[in-house]
Each structure stands twice: as structure tokens, then as C-alpha cells.
């Protein structure tokens, strides 16, 4: 079946007991057992529940995984993946990962004896240079948040497989509609479902999708033991959001390209970072491994003062953390999503004080552009 058909039907079957075309929300903590030692597939909602199982089936299908598990947030999902490691194991991460991943790894997981180093994963030679005898995982965000650096997943997967290293890809910015990391050889995919998968900015959630059965068994053990599985109502919201993922992504993609092209020629903009532009350093890689270029872009207006002026004058674009919703969101990574990164680290990787991140929504694109033009004119 095609992507949209799977998104609408896999895990989204009508309720067998009533025929309801939308599965009910199983808002219950426990399940009555007909006799000791017997149940109808569920016993306790931390372990599992029908809404979670349904959503996990949908996501596993869309990403092409053998299994998927959904969590209370993207960070809970990512944390669970790092728990596959043992003290003394080393992980290479993309240099400009999401600030929360930077914080979790450098401020907490190191205390458990895990080692992390940050590398420009768009360059295979630098990954090779930074490999250690104890490297067990390569964690790639592509494109990165908010610097939009693209990593060649197939090339890194080949290296990882040669060295028996697990390759994890954060596919949040693309969604499975625009990019399928497992098909390029990655072993594990993670998502902040808070973003495009849900798509409506009304719930927080995360997902881990596995290609190997042995990883899947460990992740499920951790999910049910540590208890960070997603609750029924939130699963329902993401399942509903996924039904329109394909059409939303088509529109996001078209709007993203139109806004990027417009800003590229704008007198008040120093530069635009969008993998869909021919000037982007990894444009060819993005074109090869993605179905489209998406709706995330960053642009530099030169200074914090100029950025502040833009952020305070937009009216359609909402000044907010997060991304991937139907509404256009605008933010300043240096003071918002990446504030937990030291300033020198931020500057080394290109997160300047004047770098504005835009999550282009699916409003009429002329309105988004007019709003940005108005705010840019105020600089």
C-alpha cells in the first residue's frame, strides 16, 4: 500500500466491538482479568494499552521498522535509546544536536559512565577520525536543529556496520514522509512526535523505531519497566494527526521552499540555511536521501537586536519553542532551544545570536511572507 493508505489504515482499524471508525480512547489504568492468569491482551496501562499498541503499529509501518515504541516525550524516547549502552561505551553525536540531547548527555548520562563526543557528522572523515575503540553508537540528527546540516545516512550506516556500531537517526525534522533512515541502513530512528507526527501542537510525545528484534526487546523491557510509555489520550491525538501527515508534509514542503527562496533574496537577511536551496553545502545529499526538503529553515539577521526586532514584530508567525505544527513558529535558538549550550560551543557550530529558526506552517504562504517582510522592515 502507499504511504497515505498505511497512515490512515494501519493500526487505525475500526473498533471491532462497535464498528466505530475511530478507535476509542481506553482511559483506564487496569484491565479486569476473567480468571487468575488470564487476560484479554492487556493487564495494566503502564505495560501497554490499545491506543499505544495501535500507534506503535502505525509508526513501525511508516518508518519500515520491525517494531516501534512510543514515549511521553521525544527526550524520554532518546533517553531510552541511550540506556542500550553500558558504562564505558562511547557515542559520537552530530555537533549541533537538539539542546535537550546535549544537556542530557553532557550533564547527566556522563555521570553514569557513558562517553560522548560531538562531531560534524556531515563529514565521514571527521567521524572516522573521532572513532574510539569503545565507540558503540553514532547518533545523527539530519538535518540538525537549527543549523540544518545534512548527514549522508547511507554513508555513515556503511561505516557503522563495518565497525559494528549502532546508528541512530533523529528523523523529527523530516518525518517518515520525507525521509526513511532505516531504508538507508540506520538501525534505530527516534522522533519527537510532538512535532510533525502529531502536527497540531496539542501533545508531547516521542517514538523509537527499531530494525533489529534484539534492540526492540530491550526497548520494550525499558518502556514497561521504567514507565515512560505514552498515555491513551496522547496516543489518540498522535494517531489522529498521522492520518493527515502526507498532505501536511506536501504543503509544509511547498511553503518551506517558497519562504526560503523569498528570504534568500531579502536585503535584511545575511544568509538562509535550507537544504532545498542550491547554495546549501549538502543540497545534493538532501536531494538524494529525502523526498522533499521540509519546512524547517534558519536565517541570520546579523545581531541579537535585529533578531529581537523581527521576533517582536511578527503577527502570523508565533514566537514559541517547538516546531512541526500547522502554525508557523519562530524562535531564537541561542536564547531558547539551545540556551543550555555554552555560548562558545553555540558559536563554533553556527548558532549565532542573530540566527532565527522558522518552522513554516501550512497557512497561506503569501501571508507568512508578508508577515516576515513586515517584521524585517522594522529592523
Ligand X SMILES: Cc1ncc(COP(=O)(O)O)c(C=O)c1O
Q: Is 170 a catalytic residue?
A: yes
**Binder among 192, 201, 255, 331 for ligand X (CB under 6 A):** 192
Q: Is 288 a catalytic residue?
A: no
Write down the catalytic residue from 46, 53, 83, 251. 46
Q: Is position 74 an interface residue for ligand X (rule: CB under 6 A)?
A: yes
**Binder among 122, 145, 211, 255 for ligand X (CB under 6 A):** 145
Contact 12, 243 (CB under 8 A): yes
Shortest spacing between CB 124 and ligand X, in angstroms: 22
**Binder among 141, 234, 300, 371 for ligand X (CB under 6 A):** 141
Q: Is 44 a catalytic residue?
A: no
Q: Is 98 a catalytic residue?
A: yes
**Binder among 51, 73, 175, 223 for ligand X (CB under 6 A):** 73
Contacts with ligand X, 79-98, as mask; x by CB under 6 A: -------------------x
Q: Is position 143 an interface residue for ligand X (rule: CB under 6 A)?
A: no
- Near ligand X by CB under 6 A, which window of 17-25, 56-64, 166-174, 365-373? 166-174
Gap between the Cα atoms of 48 and 54, Å rounded: 10
Write down the catalytic residue from 69, 79, 95, 98. 98
Catalytic residues: 46, 98, 170, 195
Residues of this chain that interact with ligand X (CB under 6 A) are 73-75, 98, 100, 141, 145, 170, 172-173, 192, 194, 204, 206
Amino acid at each position: 500500500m502507499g504511504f497515505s493508505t498505511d497512515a490512515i489504515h494501519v493500526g487505525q482499524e475500526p473498533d471491532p466491538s462497535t464498528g466505530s471508525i475511530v478507535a476509542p480512547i481506553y482511559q483506564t489504568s487496569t484491565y479486569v482479568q476473567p480468571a487468575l492468569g488470564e487476560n484479554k491482551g492487556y493487564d495494566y496501562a503502564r505495560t501497554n494499552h490499545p491506543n499505544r499498541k495501535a500507534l506503535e503499529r502505525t509508526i513501525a509501518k511508516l518508518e519500515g521498522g520491525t517494531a516501534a515504541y512510543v514515549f511521553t516525550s521525544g527526550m524520554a524516547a532518546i533517553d531510552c535509546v541511550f540506556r542500550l549502552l553500558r558504562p564505558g561505551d562511547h557515542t559520537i553525536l552530530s555537533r549541533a544536536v537538539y539542546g535537550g540531547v546535549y544537556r542530557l548527555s553532557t550533564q547527566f548520562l556522563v555521570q553514569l559512565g557513558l562517553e560522548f563526543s560531538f562531531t560534524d557528522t556531515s563529514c565521514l572523515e571527521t567521524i572516522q577520525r573521532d572513532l574510539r575503540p569503545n565507540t558503540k553508537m553514532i547518533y545523527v540528527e539530519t538535518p540538525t536543529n537549527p543549523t540544518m546540516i545534512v548527514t549522508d545516512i547511507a554513508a555513515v550506516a556503511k561505516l557503522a556496520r563495518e565497525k559494528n556500531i549502532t546508528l541512530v537517526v533523529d528523523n523529527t525534522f523530516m518525518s517518515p514522509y520525507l525521509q526513511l533512515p532505516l531504508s538507508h541502513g540506520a538501525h534505530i530512528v527516534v522522533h519527537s512526535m510532538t512535532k510533525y507526527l502529531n502536527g497540531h501542537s496539542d501533545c508531547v510525545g516521542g517514538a523509537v523505531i527499531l530494525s533489529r528484534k534484539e534492540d526492540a526487546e530491550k526497548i520494550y523491557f525499558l518502556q514497561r519497566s521504567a514507565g515512560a510509555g505514552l498515555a491513551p489520550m496522547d496516543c489518540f491525538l498522535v494517531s489522529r494527526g498521522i492520518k493527515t501527515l502526507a498532505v501536511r508534509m506536501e504543503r509544509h514542503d511547498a511553503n518551506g521552499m517558497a519562504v526560503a527562496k523569498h528570504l534568500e533574496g531579502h536585503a535584511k537577511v545575511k544568509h538562509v540555511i535550507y537544504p532545498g536551496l542550491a547554495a546549501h553545502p549538502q543540497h545534493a545529499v538532501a536531494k538524494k536521501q529525502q523526498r522533499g526538503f521540509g519546512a524547517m529553515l534558519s536565517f541570520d539577521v546579523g545581531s541579537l537586536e535585529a533578531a529581537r526586532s523581527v521576533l517582536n514584530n511578527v503577527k502570523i508567525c508565533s514566537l514559541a519553542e517547538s516546531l512541526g505544527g500547522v502554525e508557523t513558529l519562530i524562535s531564537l535558538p541561542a536564547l531558547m532551544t539551545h540556551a543550555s549550550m555554552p555560548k562558545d560551543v553555540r558559536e563554533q557550530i553556527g548558532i549565532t545570536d542573530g540566527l532565527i529558526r522558522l518552522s513554516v506552517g501550512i497557512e497561506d504562504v503569501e501571508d507568512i511572507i508578508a508577515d516576515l517582510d513586515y517584521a524585517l522592515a522594522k529592523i
